Chains A and B, each alone.
Chain A
Amino acid sequence: MNDATVQQLANEVRRGDRRALARALTLIDRGGAPVRSLRRALAGYGVGSLVGITGAPGAGKSSLTTVITQELRQRGMQVGIIAVDPSSPLSGGSLLGDRIRMYDLAGDSGVFIRSMANRGQYGGLAATTLDAAMLMRAAGFGMVLLETVGAGQSDVAVVDVADTVLLVEAPGMGDEVQSIKAGLLEVADVIVVSKSDRPDAPATLQQLRALVRMQMDSDAVWSVPVLPVSALRQTGVAALVDALLAHAQWLQTHPVTWRQQRRQLLALQRALESQLRDAVQQLPGWTTALAQLGQSDSDVLARQLLEEFVVNGFTKE
């Protein structure tokens, strides 16, 4: 696909052509030169905000995505959804099942849902989701919801891409200490206690509110709301959407904060980790190290690999 064709596709995306958007998203997924052309063609277009939805597997991310979208549609907004599921480490294929729980959104022309496989990326996000969100914004969606792979405590990659990080915590998912541990809780802009129709939800809500108060810096201007939502009973959804829109509004007047600086630092650290991992796996010694797994200490193996990397540098592709 040449530059002119990509430019034409980009123009169709900006006019809101759904078929063009779908094809452009496929280009993004496949990677390579067309992606760079698309980025150039669409730089600066689109104003919608990107909300990253993260939380443990089964916390209720898909159900929550559905009710948030329904509320936004009632308010007349168009919504793009990027749903990321894991790739199989064995076959490279994937089973993307988020549409099952988004049944009530199917057929609504004001909603565009795209499922993506994470292609083995760490951190619960496909490397391509940022570009995918850029496309959806350019196509005119007022809000783009990014539903991540069920994340563990340290899977904070969502902060590298999302304007607003929505953390979903189900009730009864472990004691207070689970939440005190560093990680997702620190990077959330809005926290939801899902399944709030359950009897143990008020306790979880109370604990999380106490924790958020405790960890808030005194100079923080944005106070992180902790909100109960039941997707089942459809309660608390309006308040949640208000909070998401309020955060998007707040970002307009607070473009650079300590929070963003921390995000940038985190992004750098993650990029460093992933690039170092990729580089080390290119080394001849990597195969040797794999063969010694279980026999040699992994710390020693890692040290040897790093020393080999320092001596050899980047392997030419």
Chain B
Amino acid sequence: MSDVPIRVLVAKPGLDGHDRGAKVIARALRDAGMDVIYTGIGQTPHMIVEAALQEDVEVVGLSILSGAHMTLLPKVATQLREAGLGHCVIVAGGIIPAEDSALLTSQYGIDAIYGPGTNTDEIVAFIRTTVAARRATL
């Protein structure tokens, strides 16, 4: 199982068009040997959940710089669970204040949040470890 590429969905929920960060992450994950499905900007929670379902991903990566993270991220997490995709690791990135970050990870089902300047190796390592642990329980 360990040689099976990890499937990751990288999406930008909401209305901001700043996709540089999402693209950098998508590339870094590809270079780490993962299959990355990139949806681009302007995604609604429903579109993201549908894409995650069709693509049968193990990780959903969400990039958000609009400030709407407290609305959109919990919605995606809830709808993923409702669609039977509660096993997906949810990783978010963007401009997210520390107190929001703490709430999102402790109460709203987001597994990790990374801000600007994060080393991509750190994200890759987190995804690998978390996915390996979830695969072991399935």
> Do these two chains really belong together in a complex?
yes
- Contact indicator B84/A115 (Cβ below 8 Å): no
Report how far A92 CA is from B3 CA in the complex, Å: 10
Which residues 40-64 of B have a CB within 8 angstroms of A? Answer: 40, 42-44, 46-47, 50-51, 53-56
Q: A93-B36, A114-B55 are in contact. Are A106 and B5 (CB under 8 A)?
A: no
Report how far A57 CA is from B47 CA in the complex, Å: 27
Q: Does A100 count as interface, using CB distance less than 8 angstroms?
A: yes
- Contact indicator B34/A93 (Cβ below 8 Å): yes
Q: Does A23 count as interface, using CB distance less than 8 angstroms?
A: yes
- Contact indicator A117/B42 (Cβ below 8 Å): no
Q: A106-B51, A115-B55 are in contact. Are A96 and B33 (CB under 8 A)?
A: no
Report how far A22 CA is from B84 CA in the complex, Å: 12
Note all chain A residues with C-beta closer than 8 A to B30.
88, 91, 93-95
Q: Which residue of A lies closest to B85 (CB)?
A: A19
- Contact indicator A107/B47 (Cβ below 8 Å): yes
Q: Does B35 count as interface, using CB distance less than 8 angstroms?
A: yes
One digit per residue, 1 when the CB lies within 8 angstroms of any chain A CB and 0 when it does not, for chain B 57-75 equals 0000000000000000000
Note all chain A residues with C-beta closer than 8 A to B54.
18, 22, 112-114
Note all chain A residues with C-beta closer than 8 A to B108.
none
Q: Does A313 count as interface, using CB distance less than 8 angstroms?
A: no
CB distance from A63 to the nearest CB of B (A): 14
Note all chain A residues with C-beta closer than 8 A to B35.
93-94, 96, 115, 117
- Contact indicator B4/A91 (Cβ below 8 Å): no
Q: Which residue of B lies closest to A92 (CB)?
A: B33
Q: Among the listed A30, A96, A106, A115, which residue makes an inter-chain contact with B4, where contact means beta carbons less than 8 Å apart?
A: A30
Q: Which residue of B lies closest to A115 (CB)?
A: B37
Report how far A99 CA is from B5 CA in the complex, Å: 19
Decide if the interface of chain A is mainly helix, strand, loop or mixed. mixed
CB distance from A149 to the nearest CB of B (A): 14
Q: Does A25 count as interface, using CB distance less than 8 angstroms?
A: yes
Q: Does A152 count as interface, using CB distance less than 8 angstroms?
A: no
Q: Does B32 count as interface, using CB distance less than 8 angstroms?
A: yes
- Contact indicator A106/B56 (Cβ below 8 Å): no
Interface size on B, residues (CB 8 A): 30
Note all chain A residues with C-beta closer than 8 A to B42.
103
Note all chain B residues with C-beta closer than 8 A to A202.
none
Note all chain A residues with C-beta closer than 8 A to B39.
99-100, 106
- Contact indicator A92/B51 (Cβ below 8 Å): no
Note all chain B residues with C-beta closer than 8 A to A112.
54
Which residues 18-37 of B have a CB within 8 angstroms of A? Answer: 26-27, 29-37
- Contact indicator B26/A95 (Cβ below 8 Å): yes
Q: Among the listed B5, B47, B50, which residue makes an inter-chain contact with A117, where contact means beta carbons less than 8 Å apart?
A: B5
Report how far A19 CA is from B55 CA in the complex, Å: 9
Q: Among the listed B32, B33, B36, B53, which residue makes an inter-chain contact with A22, where contact means beta carbons less than 8 Å apart?
A: B53
Report how far A107 CA is from B6 CA in the complex, Å: 24
CB distance from A106 to the nearest CB of B (A): 4
Which residues 83-117 of A have a CB within 8 angstroms of B? Answer: 88, 90-97, 99-100, 103, 106-107, 109, 112-115, 117
Given contacts A93-B5, A95-B27, A95-B38, 15 further A-B contacts (CB under 8 A): A19-B84, A23-B56, A26-B56, A91-B30, A91-B33, A92-B5, A93-B29, A93-B30, A93-B34, A94-B36, A95-B36, A97-B38, A112-B54, A113-B51, A115-B55
**Interface residues of B, Cβ cutoff 8 Å to A:** 4-5, 7, 26-27, 29-40, 42-44, 46-47, 50-51, 53-56, 83-84
**Interface residues of A, Cβ cutoff 8 Å to B:** 18-19, 22-23, 25-26, 30, 88, 90-97, 99-100, 103, 106-107, 109, 112-115, 117
- Can you list 6 contacts pairing A with B, beta carbon distance less than 8 Å? A22-B53, A95-B26, A95-B30, A95-B36, A99-B40, A113-B55
